[in-house]
Amino acid sequence: MASILIIDDDTVLCSMLFEQLTAAGHSAVGAHTLTDGRRCAADRSFDVILLDVQLPDGNGLEHIATFKRTRTEPEVIIITGQGEADGAERAVRSGAWSYIAKPHVIRELDLHLARALQYRRERQKVTKIPVALKRSRIIGSSAAIGRCLDQVAAAAATDVSVLISGDSGTGKELFAKAIHENSRRSRENFIIVDCAALPETLIESTLFGHVKGAFTNADRDHDGLVKHAHRGTLFLDEVGELPPATQKTFLRLLQEHEYRPVGSNHHQFSDFRLVAATNRKLDELVATGAFREDLLFRLKALTIELPPLKERKEDLRELVSYFMHDLCQRYSLETKGISADFLDTLAAHDWPGNIRELSQVMEQVFTNPMLGPTCFSIHLPESFRVMQVRAGFQQDQPVGTISMSCLPPWRSFKDQYEIDYLQRLCAASAGNISAACRLSGLSRSRLYQMISKHGLSFS
Ligand SMILES: Nc1ncnc2c1ncn2[C@@H]1O[C@H](COP(=O)(O)OP(=O)(O)OP(=O)(O)O)[C@@H](O)[C@H]1O
C-alpha cells in the first residue's frame, strides 16, 4: 500500500481524505501549510502528495517541482477549490500527475490514485533495467541531474531531434555530447554549429560547402559542416540566436536532409541526427514572432531542461572535487583537502554562470599564492566571502520580517539584478569582453546577448 502526504489548510477536508486513504489501507500524513508539508516530505518517503493550491504560506503550484525533487520523486496530485483551465495547465506543465477540483475530490481520488500508483510501479520496473550510460564527464548525483541523465539515455536510444535548454554554463554542450556518445552514431562525427557566431553571408557555404569557382577566393571545393555530420550528430548551439532568414534554411534542411553546396547543381544527402541547445525561452520567441514555430516543432521531439547550479547545490562537493583533481593533475600537485567553510561559502553563492563559473572560480583558487594543502574559504575571491556574510545576516532575521508587499515582481527583480551584475562586470573587466567572459564564466555570445537585451554599452 502507498504512503501519502496530504497538504491542505482545510482541516475538515484533510481529515476526510485521511479517513478515506487509511480505510483503503494506505498510510497518510496531513500538513496544513507548505512549510510543514515540505518538512514532512524531506523527513519521510511518500509515493503521492495531495497538494492544495491556496495555502496560508504560498501557492502549491509553485512548489510542485520542489516536492517532485524529494528522494522518492513522488507523484503530485493537485486538489483545488478553483478548478480552472489555466491552473490545470500550469500544474501539468510543472510536472503534476493530475488535477482534481475539490467538490469532486472524495469521489474521484481513488481513480487518480490508482493510476498514479500503477504508473509508479511500472516506472520502477523500467528504471531497474541497468543502462550503462557513458556520462561523458558529467558530474553530479542530485535527483535533478539523475533525471536529465535518464533523458539522455532515452534520447540516445532513438534518433529523434532533441532540444536541450538551460542557462548559460549548465552543461548543454556536455549533455549534447553525451547523447552522441551513447548513441549508435558515436563512432562518427559530433559537429558543432555555433548559431550565434554564424555570419549570415557565409551561412550557406559554412553549412553546405562550396565548389571551386563558386565565388571569388573559392579556389577549391570545400565541404560544409552538414557533410561532416553525415551518419553522426549535428549540434546547433544557441539555436535561439538564428536570424529569421537562416531559420528558413535550417527548416528546409531538417525536413529533407538534402542540401546543395554553393555553386553546385547537385543535391547531396546527409544522414545526421540533430541536437539543439538554447538558453532562451523559444516558446516566448515564437510568441513574439522572432522564432519560427514550425522549426521549434522540428527541434523538440524530445526536450531536456538542465537545472541551474543554484537548484542543485548538493552537487557542489562532487563538482569541486572533480575540478580540484583536474587542476592538481594539471599543475602536478598533491590532491588538496577541502574545508567545510570552503563549501559553505560556495553554497552561499547564486552561481549565475553555473558550472562554468564554478570551474573558473576553482582556477582562481589555484592561482592564489596563499593556497596550501587545504582549500579554505579565505582562498576564494573576496566577493564570495562578502556574500556569505551578508546571507548570514539575512538568515538571522526572524521569519516573516520581509514584507511580501516589498518584493518586486520576479522578472523586474531579475532584470535589475542582471543589469547591476553587468555594470559591475564591466567595471571589473575595464570593458574588456574577453576578461569579462573569464571573470563571469559567461560565454561570449551569452554576454553579448545580455548586453544587447538590456541596451547597455560595455565600455
Ligand atoms: N555536470 C557537469 N559536470 C562537469 N562539468 C560540467 C558540468 N556541466 C558543465 N560543465 C562544465 O562547465 C563548462 C560549461 O559547460 P557547457 O559549455 O556544456 O555549458 P552550456 O550550457 O553549453 O553553456 P553556454 O550556453 O554558455 O554555451 C564546461 O567546461 C563544462 O565542461
- Residue 404: per-residue pLDDT: 37
| Ligand 1 atom with minimal separation from the 237 CA | 27
Find the helix or strand (DSSP H, E) in which 422 lies. helix 410-428
Going residue by residue through the chain, which has 459 residues, state the pLDDT in tens, using 9 for 90 and above: 889 999 999 999 989 999 999 998 899 999 999 999 998 888 888 999 999 998 999 988 888 888 887 777 899 999 987 666 777 777 777 778 888 888 888 888 998 898 888 888 877 665 444 457 888 789 998 889 998 999 999 999 988 899 999 999 999 999 999 999 999 999 999 999 998 888 878 888 899 999 998 888 888 999 999 999 999 999 999 999 988 888 998 898 988 899 999 999 999 999 999 999 999 999 999 999 999 999 999 998 889 999 999 999 999 999 999 999 999 999 888 888 888 889 988 998 889 999 999 999 999 998 888 888 888 888 888 888 776 666 655 544 443 333 333 455 666 667 767 877 887 788 778 788 888 888 888 888 888 888 888 777 776
pLDDT digits 0-9 by tens, 383-408: 887 766 666 555 444 433 333 334 55
Find out whether the beta carbon of 168 lies less than 6 Å from any atom of ligand 1: yes
Let me know the angle formed at the C-alpha of 175 by 297 and 326, rounded to the nearest 5 degrees: 160
Find out whether the beta carbon of 137 lies less than 6 Å from any atom of ligand 1: yes
Q: How far is the C-alpha of 214 from the C-alpha of 289, rounded, in Å?
A: 34
165, 311, 355, 361: residue to mutate for ligand 1 pocket, most atoms within 8 A of CB = 355
3-class state of residue 251 by DSSP = helix
190, 313, 319, 356: residue to mutate for ligand 1 pocket, most atoms within 8 A of CB = 356
Let me know the angle formed at the C-alpha of 456 by 245 and 193, rounded to the nearest 5 degrees: 35
Find out whether the beta carbon of 356 lies less than 6 Å from any atom of ligand 1: yes
Compute the distance from residue 10 Cα to the ligand 1 centre, in Å. 45
Compute the distance from residue 255 Cα to the ligand 1 centre, in Å. 30
Instruction: Map grid coordinates 542543485 to a residue.
Output: 312
| Ligand 1 atom with minimal separation from the 277 CA | 22
Find out whether the beta carbon of 170 lies less than 6 Å from any atom of ligand 1: yes
Nearest to 252 by CA among 270, 275, 276: 270
Find out whether the beta carbon of 138 lies less than 6 Å from any atom of ligand 1: yes
Compute the distance from residue 52 Cα to the ligand 1 centre, in Å. 37
CB-CB contact of 365 with 372 (8 Å):
no
Nearest to 274 by CA among 297, 292, 291: 297
CA distances, 430 to each of 368, 380, 423 (Å): 22, 22, 10
Find out whether the beta carbon of 169 lies less than 6 Å from any atom of ligand 1: yes
Compute the distance from residue 356 Cα to the ligand 1 centre, in Å. 6
Find out whether the beta carbon of 171 lies less than 6 Å from any atom of ligand 1: yes
- Residue 394: per-residue pLDDT: 52
What Rg do the C-alpha atoms of the chain give, in angstroms? 25
Helices (H), 59-171: 64-68, 85-93, 105-127, 143-156
Q: Which residues contact 336 (CB under 8 A, 6 or more apart)?
A: 324, 328, 371, 373, 374, 375
CB-CB contact of 98 with 112 (8 Å):
yes
CA distances, 92 to each of 8, 99, 122, 282 (Å): 19, 8, 20, 19
Q: Would you state the cell numbers that stand for residue 150, as one nine-digit string? A: 535518464
Can you give the three-state secondary structure of 291-316, one letter per residue?
CCHHHHHHHCCEEEECCCHHHCHHHH
Compute the distance from residue 437 Cα to the ligand 1 centre, in Å. 14
- Residue 407: per-residue pLDDT: 52
Compute the distance from residue 229 Cα to the ligand 1 centre, in Å. 22
Count other Cβ atoms within 10 Å, centred on residue 415. Answer: 14
Find out whether the beta carbon of 173 lies less than 6 Å from any atom of ligand 1: yes
Find the helix or strand (DSSP H, E) in which 77 lies. strand 75-80
Find out whether the beta carbon of 165 lies less than 6 Å from any atom of ligand 1: no
CB-CB contact of 99 with 91 (8 Å):
yes
- Residue 378: per-residue pLDDT: 87
Protein residue with least CA distance to atom 30, ligand 1: 171
Find out whether the beta carbon of 196 lies less than 6 Å from any atom of ligand 1: no
Protein residue with least CA distance to atom 15, ligand 1: 171
Nearest to 210 by CA among 270, 264, 272: 264
Look up residue 368 and give its DSSP letter. Answer: -
What's the start-to-end Cα distance of the chain, in Å? 64
Q: Would you state the cell numbers that stand for residue 208, as one nine-digit string? A: 553546405
Whole-model pTM?
0.63
| Ligand 1 atom with minimal separation from the 166 CA | 21
Compute the distance from residue 143 Cα to the ligand 1 centre, in Å. 18
pLDDT digits 0-9 by tens, 406-458: 455 666 667 767 877 887 788 778 788 888 888 888 888 888 888 888 777 77
Longest pairwise C-alpha distance within the chain: 82
| Ligand 1 atom with minimal separation from the 442 CA | 26
CB-CB contact of 205 with 214 (8 Å):
yes
Residue 193 one-letter amino acid: V
Protein residue with least CA distance to atom 13, ligand 1: 356
Beta bridge partners of 235: 192, 275
- Residue 190: per-residue pLDDT: 97
- Beta strand 222-223 with 258-259: parallel, antiparallel or unpaired? unpaired
Q: How far is the C-alpha of 73 from the C-alpha of 69, rounded, in Å?
A: 6
Compute the distance from residue 441 Cα to the ligand 1 centre, in Å. 10
141, 165, 170: residue to mutate for ligand 1 pocket, most atoms within 8 A of CB = 170
Find out whether the beta carbon of 270 lies less than 6 Å from any atom of ligand 1: no
